[in-house]
Structure 1
Amino acid sequence: MKSARRRMVVILYGKGGVGKTTVCSHLAAQYAAGGRKVLLLGCDPKTDTSTRFLSGKKPPTMLDMVEGRFGRRFSELLTRTPSGVDIMETGGPEPGVGCGGRGVATLCQFLEEHPRELASYDVVLFDVLGDLVCGGFVAPLRFGKGNCVFIISSEEPASLFAANNIARMTRRPYYDAAAVGGIIFNLRHNDAPQGHLASFAKKIGVAVVGSVPRDPLIMEAEERGLTVQAHAPSSKAARQFAVLAKAVEAACRSKRSAKAAPMGNDEFWAFVRQHRIASL
């Protein structure tokens, strides 16, 4: 039976390679397992959001539509997965040709053209490349899609720098609807110093929603093209994503989402030096 709850639209941003797709995919799987109708939107030219659901099968993309390989019907570009997660991918041009961000803007326009289909979902998740060198990648905010933004970061300086830039992006006046629900730390090294993470979140004015420790089971699942919930449903890693999914939903439903207060570049690097944060 369809949930009577208000639709939850979540946008996840993070530096390339930080594990943003890992987090987003597992959240989608968790919500689907709980009986929600879930739409997962892959906004990366690598078209890798679907890898844990389709066992290597390539889904149709927005680029395929633009180039005439598929029509403009919602059903033609939607891929239904055995786990119950519906997926759309933007795709992207060949390296050095075209603009990856254009695909994200095309996806948002496509969703605007299909309000009835979009309204049928309980949860919509955008998995967005977060280095933010291109305005196209912030199209989900500009098109008014997101009611809650989450930042994915590791404990390392480059990732924190990108997280601070994402917080800075949400301060732009034309993204008035963008509220930061919090930051999720996807740890690269469980034994690395982590005391600075809470300080960083407090400094930029966002809540820590959760942390995902590095776990070999997550990597094993990825190698098999699965989520950890499908690969090892009784594992600690699977339980941690269940907890994280509840925390993300609570942050979206509550009044805690607020405008961030990002640091300037000089202030950020002073913070890094003060806390002796190093790449590992």
Structure 2
Amino acid sequence: MAKKIKQIAIYGKGGIGKSTTTSNISAALSTLGYKVMQFGCDPKSDSTNTLRQGKYIPTVLDTLRDKPNVKAQEVIFTGFNGIFCVEAGGPAPGVGCAGRGITTAVQLFKQQHVFEDLDLDYVIFDVLGDVVCGGFAVPIREGIAEHVFTVSSSDFMAVYAANNLFNGIKKYSNAGGALLGGVIANSINQPYAKDIIDDFVKQTKTQVVEYVPRSVTVTQSELQGKTTIEAAPNSAQAQVYLSLAKKIAAHEVSKVPEPLTVSELREWAAKWADHLLALETGTIEGAKAGI
């Protein structure tokens, strides 16, 4: 009997640190002895760069445009510590759906039984989460991914994107879609940032999986074209990513979140805006006062 492959989708708005987080999770899981594939689903096709010394790889869609029949092995490249790297790619600029690469790549890999033949433990889909359109929703809608995690900071647009994702998960939950494992809280350096994320997950009936601080170590590592796990394995930041990877490895039960309506989200945000202003002006003391 073939072993069960754990398939995970990590979403987050552009620029939130989603690919950085995903690549460090993949790298950490590989150091724990797991066989991992990272499946980049962003049209920018840069998900796996730091797993490959900063180098880009040919995408599935670009390869298919060059020739009609492609073997999956032609678009799979090896990265740090044996991690298999794939970039789905996107259409030519201004033409077609940006999420089409995911659909096409997943169909190709399914037809050729790639995940099973490589004897993988984990397939991690790195997915743009600004808009959960038809293409980007594929890992959720079709139940390709078993568990979904979202990367979010305490900034409103990041929270807005996370809440939007929760709507998509809830929509497809009754049709066998993937469920939510939790929120990866990124760039959490101030007490108020942690409090905002904690309150958001409480309101939406989910959980924080890990708090990841902003760190110059990450920047230094990426300038070398590497993950923090590879470039600075003994750093405090690497230990955070290792802890996150272990929690994801141990995670078994995902749930349906309860997203806020747009009006509820705006009301929630307005209360936090007033609270932060009061903190700044010294009207109140302590990050939790008045909330």
Deviates more, 1:242-251 or 1:69-78: 69-78
Per the alignment, residue 264 of structure 2 pairs with: 267
**Cα displacement (A) at 1:116:** 5.0
Aligned 8 A contact 1:64 1:70 in 2: no
Greater than 6 Å deviation, 4+ residue runs: none
TM-score with structure 1 length normalisation? 0.91
Question: Aligned partners of 1:71 and 1:224: how far apart in 2?
Answer: 36
Task: Give the RMSD, CA atoms, in angstroms.
Answer: 1.9
Aligned 8 A contact 2:218 2:228 in 1: yes
TM-score with structure 2 length normalisation? 0.87
- What are the equivalent positions in structure 2 for 1:46-125 lying under 5 Å apart? 46-69=44-67, 71-118=69-116, 120-125=119-124
Deviations 1:167-222 (A, max 9, x none): 011011465331100011111x6136221211100111111101110000001101
Per the alignment, residue 223 of structure 2 pairs with: 223
Deviates more, 1:56-65 or 1:231-240: 56-65
Gaps of 5+ in 1: none
Report the secondary structure of 1:28's partner residue. helix
Number of matched residues? Answer: 271
**Cα displacement (A) at 1:275:** 1.7
Per the alignment, residue 150 of structure 2 pairs with: 151
**Cα displacement (A) at 1:6:** 3.3
Question: Aligned partners of 1:75 and 1:170: how far apart in 2?
Answer: 31
Supply the AA of the counterpart residue of 2:170. Answer: R
Report the secondary structure of 1:206's partner residue. coil
Question: Aligned partners of 1:203 and 1:32: how far apart in 2?
Answer: 34
Deviations 1:44-73 (A, max 9, x none): 011111210222332121112320258421
**Cα displacement (A) at 1:78:** 0.3
Q: Which has the larger radius of gyration?
A: 2
Aligned 8 A contact 1:45 1:100 in 2: yes
Per the alignment, residue 127 of structure 1 pairs with: 126
Aligned 8 A contact 2:72 2:114 in 1: no
Identity across matched positions, percent: 34
Supply the AA of the counterpart residue of 2:180. Answer: V
User: Is 1:171 aligned to residue 170 of structure 2?
Assistant: yes
Question: Aligned partners of 2:112 and 2:209: how far apart in 1?
Answer: 32
**Cα displacement (A) at 1:153:** 0.4
User: Is 1:42 aligned to residue 40 of structure 2?
Assistant: yes
CA distance 1:201–1:122, shift in 2 (3 Å): same
Aligned 8 A contact 2:139 2:178 in 1: no
Supply the AA of the counterpart residue of 2:246. Answer: K
Supply the AA of the counterpart residue of 1:178. Answer: A
Per the alignment, residue 137 of structure 2 pairs with: 138
Aligned 8 A contact 1:70 1:76 in 2: no
Per the alignment, residue 288 of structure 2 pairs with: none
Question: Aligned partners of 2:255 and 2:203: how far apart in 1?
Answer: 14
Supply the AA of the counterpart residue of 1:59. Answer: I
Question: Aligned partners of 1:87 and 1:158: how far apart in 2?
Answer: 29
CA distance 1:185–1:175, shift in 2 (3 Å): farther
CA distance 1:76–1:11, shift in 2 (3 Å): same
Aligned 8 A contact 1:53 1:226 in 2: yes
Aligned 8 A contact 1:9 1:125 in 2: yes
Deviations 1:79-128 (A, max 9, x none): 01242110110112343233211111111211221225446210110000
